C-alpha cells in the first residue's frame, strides 16, 4: 500500500471517498486485474508523493521511467509534452502539475503528466495536448500498474486536489490497456470516450510479413496496381523526413492539403493556429539529428508535389498517427493515402515496431488496416461542489456525443448540419443566386 509523504494516509479510504466524487459515472470499461495478492508487491509497499510545477523539475524522474521501459503511450514522451507546453499551453496560462510516486530509495514508481488550468472559477487538472493527443495516460512501472488499488489512486488524487486547490479532474481519452496491461485509472468510475482508437498489431520480423499480417493478398494486389499508376508521375518515391528542410516542406504541404480538405467539407480547421503549427514544426525537428524525431513524417512524393503524408509519434514499440493528408490533385485518383500506409507498415515491421494506430474516430480507410478498436475512457472527478456540478454536465455531454457517433443516421445528420453552419457566407450567397 502506498503511504503518502505528508498528511494523507492511504489507509483513510473512507475519508477519501467523501472528498472525491464522480457524478453520474459507472464502469463502462471492463478490465482484468491480477488477484488481490498482487497488492502486496514490495515495489508498492511504501511510496512518497511529490508534485512538480515545472517540467524541468519532473524531468529526471520522467527520464528514469522512460529508460526503464515504463508503460505509456507515445504521447507521454517527455519531449512531446515539453514542446506542447512550450509552444501552446504555457501561453494559455496552463501550468504543469506533475505527480510522481517514488519508492523509499527515490526510484520513481509512476508519473501522472497532468496540467492545471482555470476555466471561470474552476481549477481543472487534465492531460496535456488537447485534441492533438489521441491517447492519454500515466507512466507506470509494470509491477506498480498491476498492483495499485482504486483506493490508493483516489488517495493520491485527493491529496493533490487538496494541496493544489483542484475542483475537477478531467482525464480524457485514456486507453483501457497500456501495452497489454490494464490501465490503473480504469479501476476508478469512468465512461467510454466518444471515439475509440483504430489499431493494428503487427506480426513478423520483416516488412513484408508485417504487411501480410494486416492486409489480405487481394487488397495488397489492388494497392500494388494503384501504386503502379502513381509510379507514372515523374520522380515518384516513398520518403521519410531526415532533415529540417525536408520536414518543413512536408509539414507545409500537410497544412495546405488539410486546410483544403476541411474547407471543402465545411469543417473547422484545428490546425489553423500559429501556436499549434509552431509545436508541430518544433516536434518534427526535435530529435531528427539522432534519428528519433518527436513527430516522424512519412510521405509519397513526386518531383512536382507531396502526394500523401503521415505524421506520427513513435516510442519504439508503437507508432500513433497524429496527422495525415493527401493531394487534392490528379494523383488522388489512385488512393495515395492507402498506398503510403503499405510503406509505413513495412517500415514498422523492419524497425521492430509492434503496433500501429490511426488515431481516434471512425474513418472507412482505417478499417482496411486496423482490425482492432481499442476502448478509450474518460475519468471525470468532481472534488468541490462546483466541480461536481460541472462533472455532471460533462458526463451528459460526452455521453450524448458518443451516442450520436454510434448512431449512423444521427451522426450523418449532425455532420451535414455542421457543414451547413460552417459554410462560408459567400458560398451560400452564390448558391442562392443559382
CATH at 77: 3.40.630
Task: Identify whether residues 314 and 256 lie together within a single domain.
Answer: yes
- 361 belongs to a structural domain: yes
Pairing of strands 122-127, 168-175: parallel
Nearest CA-CA partner of 223 in 354, 345, 319: 345
Which residues does residue 379 pair with via DSSP β-bridges, in sequence order? 171
Task: Identify whether residues 383 and 309 lie together within a single domain.
Answer: no
Residue with cell 477519501: 16
Task: Identify whether residues 57 and 144 lie together within a single domain.
Answer: yes
- 390 belongs to a structural domain: yes
pLDDT for res 242: 97
Range of the domain at 26: 13-193+375-411
Judge whether 182 and 82 are in contact, CB under 8 Å: no
- 347 belongs to a structural domain: yes
pLDDT for res 416: 63
User: Using alpha carbons only, how large is the chain's radius of gyration in Å?
Assistant: 23
Task: Identify whether residues 287 and 159 lie together within a single domain.
Answer: no
Alpha-carbon gap, residue 341 to 298, rounded angstroms: 9
How deeply is 98 buried, as exposed, middle or buried, from its count of CB atoms within 10 A (0-12, 13-18, 19+)?
Answer: buried
Task: Identify whether residues 224 and 175 lie together within a single domain.
Answer: no
Nearest CA-CA partner of 275 in 91, 34, 29, 30: 91
Which residues does residue 238 pair with via DSSP β-bridges, in sequence order? 300
Task: Identify whether residues 142 and 263 lie together within a single domain.
Answer: no
Task: Identify whether residues 323 and 404 lie together within a single domain.
Answer: no
Alpha-carbon gap, residue 172 to 185, rounded angstroms: 11
Write the CATH number for 321. Answer: 3.40.630.30
The three cell numbers locating residue 306: 507531396
pLDDT for res 7: 35
Task: Identify whether residues 183 and 256 lie together within a single domain.
Answer: no
- Cα 95 to its chain centre, rounded Å, is 20
Judge whether 8 and 159 are in contact, CB under 8 Å: yes
Number of structural domains in the chain: 2
Q: Give the three-class secondary structure for 213.
A: helix
Q: Which residues contact 131 (CB under 8 A, 6 or more apart)?
A: 270
| Start-to-end Cα distance in the chain | 72
Residue with cell 448558391: 431
**C-alpha angle 150/153/157, rounded to 5°?**
140
- 277 belongs to a structural domain: yes
Q: What is the DSSP letter of 271?
A: T
The three cell numbers locating residue 401: 456525443
Task: Identify whether residues 339 and 393 lie together within a single domain.
Answer: no
- 430 belongs to a structural domain: no
Cα–Cα distances (Å) from 176 to 16, 187, 190, 394, in that order, read 24, 10, 10, 20
Q: Give the three-class secondary structure for 278.
A: helix
pLDDT for res 264: 84
Write out residues in the chain with pLDDT < 70, as ranges. Answer: 1-45, 399, 402-434
- 204 belongs to a structural domain: yes
Could you read off the pLDDT of 177-218 as tens digits, one per residue? 999 999 999 999 888 888 889 999 999 989 999 999 999 999
Task: Identify whether residues 126 and 248 lie together within a single domain.
Answer: no
Nearest CA-CA partner of 76 in 178, 199, 146, 201: 178
pLDDT for res 420: 59
How many other C-beta atoms are found inside a 10 Å radius of the C-beta of residue 247? 23
Q: Which residues contact 252 (CB under 8 A, 6 or more apart)?
A: none
Q: What is the DSSP letter of 170?
A: E
- 418 belongs to a structural domain: no
Which residues does residue 72 pair with via DSSP β-bridges, in sequence order? none
pTM of the predicted model, to two decimals?
0.84
Give the DSSP per-residue string, 330-389: GGGGG-HHHHHHHHHHHHHHHHT--EEEEEES--TTHHHH--EEE-EEEEEEE-SHHHHH
Element (H, E) at 208: helix 207-214
Element (H, E) at 198: strand 197-201
Q: What is the DSSP letter of 29?
A: S
Nearest CA-CA partner of 295 in 86, 109, 132: 132
Residue with cell 471543402: 264
Q: Which residues contact 224 (CB under 8 A, 6 or more apart)?
A: none
Helices (H) and strands (E) in the chain, counts: 14, 17
Q: Give the three-class secondary structure for 217.
A: helix
Amino acid at each position: 500500500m502506498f503511504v503518502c509523504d505528508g498528511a494523507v494516509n492511504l489507509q483513510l479510504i473512507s475519508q477519501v471517498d467523501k472528498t472525491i466524487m464522480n457524478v453520474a459515472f459507472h464502469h463502462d470499461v471492463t478490465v482484468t486485474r491480477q488477484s488481490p495478492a498482487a497488492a502486496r508487491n514490495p515495489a508498492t509497499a511504501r511510496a512518497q508523493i511529490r508534485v512538480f510545477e515545472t517540467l524541468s523539475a519532473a524531468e529526471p524522474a520522467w527520464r528514469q521511467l522512460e529508460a526503464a521501459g515504463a508503460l505509456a503511450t507515445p504521447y507521454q514522451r517527455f519531449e512531446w509534452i515539453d514542446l506542447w507546453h512550450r509552444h501552446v499551453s504555457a501561453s494559455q496560462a496552463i501550468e504543469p502539475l506533475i505527480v510522481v510516486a517514488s519508492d523509499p530509495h527515490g526510484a520513481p514508481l509512476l508519473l501522472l503528466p497532468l496540467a492545471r488550468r482555470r476555466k471561470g472559477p474552476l481549477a481543472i487538472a487534465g492531460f496535456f495536448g488537447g485534441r492533438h493527443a489521441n491517447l492519454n495516460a500515466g507512466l507506470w512501472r509494470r509491477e506498480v500498474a498491476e498492483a495499485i488499488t482504486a483506493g490508493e489512486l483516489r488517495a493520491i488524487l485527493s491529496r493533490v486536489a487538496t494541496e493544489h486547490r483542484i475542483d475537477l479532474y478531467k482525464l480524457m481519452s485514456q486507453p483501457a490497456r497500456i501495452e497489454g496491461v490494464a490501465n490503473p485509472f480504469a479501476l476508478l468510475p469512468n465512461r467510454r470516450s466518444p471515439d475509440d482508437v483504430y489499431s493494428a498489431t503487427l506480426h513478423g520480423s520483416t516488412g513484408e510479413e508485417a504487411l501480410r499480417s494486416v492486409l489480405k493478398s487481394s487488397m495488397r494486389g489492388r494497392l500494388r496496381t494503384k501504386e503502379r499508376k502513381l509510379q507514372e508521375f515523374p520522380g515518384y518515391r516513398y520518403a521519410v523526413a531526415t532533415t529540417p528542410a525536408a520536414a518543413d516542406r512536408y509539414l507545409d504541404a500537410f497544412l495546405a492539403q488539410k486546410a483544403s480538405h476541411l474547407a471543402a467539407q465545411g469543417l473547422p480547421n484545428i490546425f489553423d493556429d500559429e501556436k499549434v503549427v509552431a509545436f508541430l514544426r518544433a516536434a518534427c525537428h526535435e530529435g531528427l539529428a539522432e534519428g528519433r524525431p518527436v513527430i516522424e513524417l512519412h510521405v509519397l512524393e513526386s518531383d512536382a508535389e507531396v502526394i500523401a503524408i503521415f505524421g506520427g509519434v513513435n516510442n519504439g514499440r508503437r507508432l500513433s498517427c497524429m496527422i495525415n493528408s493527401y493531394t487534392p490533385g490528379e494523383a488522388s485518383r489512385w488512393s495515395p493515402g492507402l498506398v503510403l500506409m503499405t510503406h509505413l507498415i513495412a517500415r514498422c515491421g523492419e524497425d521492430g515496431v509492434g503496433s500501429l494506430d490511426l488515431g481516434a474516430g471512425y474513418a472507412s480507410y482505417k478499417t482496411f488496416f486496423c482490425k482492432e478498436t481499442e476502448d478509450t475512457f474518460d475519468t471525470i472527478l468532481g472534488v468541490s461542489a462546483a466541480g461536481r456540478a460541472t462533472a455532471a454536465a460533462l458526463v451528459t455531454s460526452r455521453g450524448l456525443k458518443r451516442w450520436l457517433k454510434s448512431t449512423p443516421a444521427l451522426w450523418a445528420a449532425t455532420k451535414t448540419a455542421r457543414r451547413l453552419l460552417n459554410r462560408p457566407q459567400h458560398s451560400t450567397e452564390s448558391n442562392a443566386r443559382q
